[in-house]
Structure formats: C-alpha cells, structure tokens
Structure 1
Amino acid sequence: MTTIDTIIFDLGGVLIDWNPEYVFLKAFHGDRNKMQWFLDNVCTSAWNENQDAGYPLDQATEDLIVRFPEYENLIKMYYGDWENMLGGSIDETVHILETLVKLNKYKIVALTNWSHETFPIALKRFNFLSWFDGIVVSGEEKTRKPFAKIYTTTLDRYNIKAKNAIFIDDSLRNIEAAKKLHINGIHFKSPKQLIETLKSYNIYIP
C-alpha cells in the first residue's frame, strides 16, 4: 500500500458550487434551451478556460463581442455578474477537508483552474480556503489543468512526491492527466463517493 502524505483538492465542483446557470437562466427568463445554446456556442467552457489560464477578462470579453456583437450585453454579463455564479460551499466536502486538516497527518493543497482576477472574490467568501497549506491558481501560473506544467509546478512548489499524493477533481480529464504523472487520482462524483474511495487508501472520514 502506497503511503499517502499529501491530498490535493480541486475547488470548483468539489468544494465550491459554481455554475453560469445561476446567472444566465434568469437572463434567458427561464428558457433553459436558449441558455444552453448560448453557453454551448458563445460563452463556452473552452472560452472561459482560456481566462483560467491567465488571459485578461476584459480582453476576452471584447474579443467575443467582436465575434458575436448581437450578444454584447449577455457576454458582458459573464464576468460582470460572475460573483453570482458562485452558489456557495459544498458543505459535505468541506467537512471532509476539515477532518483531514484536523488529523494533522497530511499536507493539504488546492489546485484549481481559476482566473487570477476573480479568485480574490472566492478568498473573501470562503473561509475554508485559509485551511490549505498552499493553493495553486491556474490564472496566476498562466497555465491550467490538464497541462502537465501545472501539476509539476504544484509538486515542486510544495515538495510533493507524486506517488505519495492523491488528487481529487470532478473532471475525469484532469484526473487522467494527473495519473500520467503518477499522482493518485480520485474522480469526484459526490462527498459520499469520496469518503468511500478514500478508505481504499486507509483514510477514514467519520
């Protein structure tokens, strides 16, 4: 059995509920189909991920308005009203984090795809972010998951051995990238599933 001494958490979708739907369903007056078309074709996940890698929000907004001038107001809303996309903490996972911190047996680190321009909002809102031994924010590093550089940066910065670490993320793509670097991975689906999977590493959450 591998000795685990470090646990690396993703934030969005694992500890923090974030969803553009919280803003755009209202903007589209409850029309989920129209909202989904807009998020699939205009303010896409791929577009947002570019900002997670450090691209300026204002420039990204201007770029998209050039391509889709008819949606200017909605495009401006994406980052203008971004704070309202934060739905709150995922309390059951925060409890898991708190338990691991109190055990005082593990180095606890966060690795998140997040714009460096909006991350300060999360730092102010979520006190549990201060519990980590370190947080690697993609926007500050000018790269993002699933690219290898952000994983190796995390390992090097906090003196982590890949084989002794577990990475928890709700994106299977990001987990597979971590595993290529010999980091143990847990594809997060629910707090209950996480608790059960941690048992296979002899980590028990009451």
Structure 2
Amino acid sequence: MTIRAVVFDFGGVLFDWSPHHLYRQLIADDRERQWFLDTICTQAWNTEQDAGRTLAEATRTLIAEHPQHEPLIQAYYDRWHEMLRGPLPEGVAILEALHEAKMPLFGLTNWSAETFPYARKHYPFLQYLRDIVVSGEVKLIKPDAAIYHVSLGQVRAHLPDIQPADVVFIDDVAGNVEAAMALGWQGIHHVSAERTRERLRELGVSF
C-alpha cells in the first residue's frame, strides 16, 4: 500500500472553530448559552448552510421562528469570524510537514460557501492544498458518499491513475472517516496530532 494523497478536514483538525467563542461574549451564563446553541442556533441549523442554504435565508427563517432571540440569531453570521479563533498549530504542523515532503494535499470541508472566503483570505497555509471541496459550494455534505466522489474526482484531476486506497482522509468526526473508508479510502480519526502522525507513519507516509 502506498499513500499518494492526503485529504484534510478543516474544523477540529486545522482550525479552532466553535460558536462558543462568540457566544461567551453574548451569553454569560454557561447553561443559558448551551441551551441557546442546543435549541436555537443549533449545529443542525448551521449544517444547512454548510450544505448550501444562504446565510440570509437561514437567518430570516430562524428569526421568524424565534423572534424573541433576534439579536442573538443575527449575531451568528454577522459576527461569524469571531467563532473562528484561528489555526490549530499541531494540525497545521502536520500539513506543513507533508507539504515539505512533497505529498499531494487536498481539502474536504463542511463549510458555508459564503464564510469560507474569509478563511481562504486570512490563513495562508491553505495554499498548500492543491484543491479544496467546500460543501456549500458543491451543495453536498459529509458524510454523504457523493461529496467523497467529488473529492476523489478532484484528486484524480491532479493524479489521474490514483485509486481510493491510495488516499487517506483525516477528520475529527468518526462518522465522516467511516464514510470515506466505506468507499475504499484509508481513514484517520483525528483525536490528537500525535496520534495522527503515528497513523500516517503506520500507513507508510514518510515526513
């Protein structure tokens, strides 16, 4: 087995993103803040934007359902960049080491098409990736098999004869890794940078 390309997820691997980074400033009480993020601006609601729904439509419809929370709902995307605390240095170090070792690198992320340009503009390490599949742009989302087919097609545009088993996907969500492996990819569930480095070496990647 020879790994010929590495595909990175972003949130939890390369980026420290969490709504709590913003809402700690807006809702001081821990229980109240957790209730709001579990009940109003939920991860499932955010995922709809990652899948292609516009931020304007998402905000408008949620405010219509919960008008008493309008200022807090409006803040979610008005101040979205405050949820993106920055890079995760240990994850980025793996990316940089693989880049220096000349490994072809790609991205596969669940991310809104409207907010991703901010990350592309402000985080130069993304330039190490030859291509990136952004769920909001293709209107598909992990762990749907279709988005992995798009990603593999993108990899094959650079490495035409590559097979799924030649690709390793790194993601902090186990279900997303399992979906890739079900399609024949290699997979690493990212729980720590140290363990991910170890797994890459076990797969024969030298860096």
Q: TM class by shorter-chain length?
A: over 0.9
Confirm or deny: 8 A CA contact 1:114 1:137 kept in the other structure. yes
Superposition deviation, residue 204 in structure 1: 4.0
Structure 1 segments, 4+ long, off by >6 Å, are: none
When the two structures are aligned, how many residues end up with a matched partner?
202
Residue identity in the other structure for 1:76: Q
Superposition deviation, residue 158 in structure 1: 2.1
Confirm or deny: 8 A CA contact 1:15 1:90 kept in the other structure. yes
Structure 2: 5+ residue runs without aligned partners? 157-161
The separation in 2 between residues aligned to 1:40 and 1:175, in whole angstroms, is 24
Note if 1:84 corresponds to 2:82.
yes
Which residue is 1:165 aligned to?
167
Residue 108 of structure 1: which of 105, 109, 124 is its match?
105
Report the aligned-residue RMSD.
1.0
The separation in 1 between residues aligned to 2:186 and 2:43, in whole angstroms, is 26
Which residue is 1:124 aligned to?
121
Confirm or deny: 8 A CA contact 1:138 1:150 kept in the other structure. yes
Deviates more, 1:154-163 or 1:69-78: 154-163
The separation in 1 between residues aligned to 2:34 and 2:77, in whole angstroms, is 17
Superposition deviation, residue 189 in structure 1: 0.8
The separation in 2 between residues aligned to 1:204 and 1:173, in whole angstroms, is 27
The separation in 2 between residues aligned to 1:102 and 1:199, in whole angstroms, is 15
Which residue is 2:97 aligned to?
99
Residue 143 of structure 1: which of 140, 144, 150 is its match?
140
1:17-74 Cα distance to aligned partner (Å, 9 max, x none): 1010011111012x11111111111111011001001100010001111111111110
Note if 1:12 corresponds to 2:11.
yes
Which residue is 1:185 aligned to?
187
The percent of aligned pairs where both chains have the same amino acid is: 44
SS in 1 for 2:194: helix
Residue identity in the other structure for 2:129: F
SS in 1 for 2:132: strand
TM-score by length of 2: 0.95
Confirm or deny: 8 A CA contact 2:106 2:130 kept in the other structure. yes
Residue identity in the other structure for 2:176: N
